[in-house]
Amino acid sequence: MKTLSGLKSLCMGAALLAPGIIPTAASAQGNATGVAHTQRAESHMLPPGYDCRDCGQPDGVAAPNPPANFNALTASDDEIAFFGFPPRPDANKAPDAYAFWKKLVTSPARRIQPILRATRIKHGPAKNVSIAEPNLAPKPTGATSTNWSGYVVQDNNNPFKAAKTYIYGILEVPVARQAFGTCNGTWDYSSPWVGIDGWGSNDVLQSGIDADAYCSGGTTATNYDAWYEWYPAGVVILSNFPVAPGDVIYVYIWPTSTTVGNYYILNVTQNVSSSIQFNAPNGTTLVGNTLDWITEWFAGPMITNYLDIPWAEARAVLPGGTQYSPGKAPTGTVYSITLEDGSGNQLSKAYLTPNNALTYVDPNNKTHTDTGSTLWFQTEGLAR
């Protein structure tokens, strides 16, 4: 297995990057075999499953736009919930979480009333899981899956089903493309997301983005969107919410009860936000056994070659103020999950960043430096 230092050495080969900067998809124009990507005409077609004309009305109700003079810092908890903001952490018990929440709710972003579109797409529980010999905390236990890569905190006492437990991540949207040198007439898919359940449970309350890529002959196409889902129901897309490579996205999910979920998304780069409440599918209730920070391969012959996806934050907060992250879990077991195909080839891995800090260059050539619970995903092997 590659070490983080080894990976950083490989990344530094991309040329003229300052020490510690992890290059993103935009900063790599070729591949390890020297096959350069050629410029192709871009098509705006939708991947199969996204355009579902007979899926019916999606479940979800958007929160109303806050009034111009609304102050979340002085508002009541009921007012905060009514206008669709994530629950307010206790400033004394969880000062770091409160500081981050304060930054979020005071953002000047314009609230979008979303146009929701149901799809046939489903991001499901982890499949074909294999767990290595358990490690002693705080070191994560290694595991593999054929659809997930990332980090999971599992606690079989199910503490994460408590109302107002929230999980979030801040990620940079990668450039979606097929593996270098590949143009095979099919779509490749990937979805970074945050959620609750799905690792040893059959439901998943989750939200994130899609970054999908297609290539055939002289034509390429990409698909970027924001979505939420309570599996086994399908994905619901916010069809009017802008998502583009290089955008910095804040994505939150939290339960109001074991059958009601909430979703908040903020695109810092494009200065827009949206918030939605939705129901669990019939017969499904939240188990609350895991917290998940994942990039998923949910369809197609190969995961998108996203190269890397930096996460500036990856945290969860319980109502009493207890905080969890991939690097620190007060209870339960942390799993570091590697995505493999059916033949055991590694396709995607996630890494905690050294000293809890991350500097990276986005697809728009802007440099970001973040501290906190930072991690990054990287495609491996055949996926590149």
pLDDT tens-digit readout, 75-84:
999 999 999 9
List the domain range (segments joined by +) for residue 333.
Answer: 4-383
Tokens standing for residue 49:
């499953």
pLDDT for the residue numbered 382: 94
How does 90-101 read in b/e, with b if 16+ C-beta sit within 10 Å?
A: eeeebeebbebb
Identity of residue 35: V
pLDDT for the residue numbered 283: 96
Mean pLDDT for all residues in the chain: 86
pLDDT tier, 365 (very low <50, low <70, confident <90, very high otherwise)? confident
Per cent of the chain over pLDDT 90 is 70
Secondary structure letter of residue 180 according to DSSP: T
Give the DSSP H or E segment for 82.
helix 77-82
Tokens standing for residue 286:
């939240």
When comparing pLDDT for 248 and 51, which is higher? 248
When comparing pLDDT for 165 and 100, which is higher? 165
Dihedral sign, Cα of residue 146, residue 147, residue 153, residue 156: negative
Peptide bond into 363 cis (omega under 30): no
pLDDT for the residue numbered 18: 27
Provide the CB-side half-sphere exposure for 276 (13 A, CA): 28
Nearest to 151 by CA among 324, 286, 6: 324
| Secondary structure of residue 286 in the 3-state scheme | coil
Nearest to 303 by CA among 346, 247, 334: 346
pLDDT tier, 353 (very low <50, low <70, confident <90, very high otherwise)? confident
- For the cut 60, the answer to whether the pLDDT of residue 180 exceeds it is yes
When comparing pLDDT for 89 and 31, which is higher? 89
pLDDT tier, 170 (very low <50, low <70, confident <90, very high otherwise)? very high
User: For residue 15, how many other CB atoms are within 10 A of its CB?
Assistant: 8
Over residues 12-37, the mean pLDDT reads 32
pLDDT tens-digit readout, 36-46:
334 456 656 78
Confirm if 117 and 49 have CB atoms less than 8 A apart. Answer: no
Nearest to 376 by CA among 315, 328, 312: 312
**CA 281, CA 324: separation in Å to the nearest integer?**
27
pLDDT for the residue numbered 304: 97
**CA 260, CA 299: separation in Å to the nearest integer?**
27
The CA radius of gyration of the chain, in Å to the nearest whole number, is 20
Per cent of the chain over pLDDT 70 is 87
Q: Name 89's bridge partners.
A: none
When comparing pLDDT for 107 and 370, which is higher? 107
Q: Name 226's bridge partners.
A: 209
- For the cut 60, the answer to whether the pLDDT of residue 22 exceeds it is no
pLDDT tens-digit readout, 102-150:
989 999 999 999 999 999 999 999 999 999 877 666 689 999 999 999 9
pLDDT for the residue numbered 95: 86
Q: Count Cβ atoms within 10 A of the Cβ of residue 39 and give its class: 0-12 exposed, 13-18 middle, 19 or more buried.
A: exposed
Angle at 351 between CA 349 and CA 354, to 5 degrees: 160
Confirm if 194 and 252 have CB atoms less than 8 A apart. Answer: yes
Strand order in the sheet with 21-23: 21-23, 357-361, 367-371
Nearest to 18 by CA among 253, 286, 359, 366: 359
**CA 66, CA 58: separation in Å to the nearest integer?**
23
Give the residue carrying structure tokens 């606690």. 155
Over residues 165-178, the mean pLDDT reads 95
Using alpha carbons, list the distances in angstroms from residue 15 to 32, 61, 181, 208.
14, 48, 21, 31
pLDDT tens-digit readout, 187-232:
999 999 999 999 999 999 999 999 999 999 979 999 999 999 999 9
When comparing pLDDT for 58 and 43, which is higher? 58
Label the pairing between strands 333-340 and 141-145: parallel
Report the domain count for the chain.
1
- For the cut 80, the answer to whether the pLDDT of residue 174 exceeds it is yes
pLDDT tier, 350 (very low <50, low <70, confident <90, very high otherwise)? very high
Peptide bond into 232 cis (omega under 30): yes
pLDDT for the residue numbered 138: 67
**CA 88, CA 279: separation in Å to the nearest integer?**
22
pLDDT for the residue numbered 43: 58
Residue 68 is part of a domain; what is its CATH number?
2.60.120.700
pLDDT for the residue numbered 367: 84
Give the residue carrying structure tokens 């199910």. 158
- For the cut 80, the answer to whether the pLDDT of residue 292 exceeds it is yes
pLDDT for the residue numbered 51: 82
pLDDT tier, 366 (very low <50, low <70, confident <90, very high otherwise)? confident
**CA 295, CA 350: separation in Å to the nearest integer?**
9
Over residues 63-72, the mean pLDDT reads 95
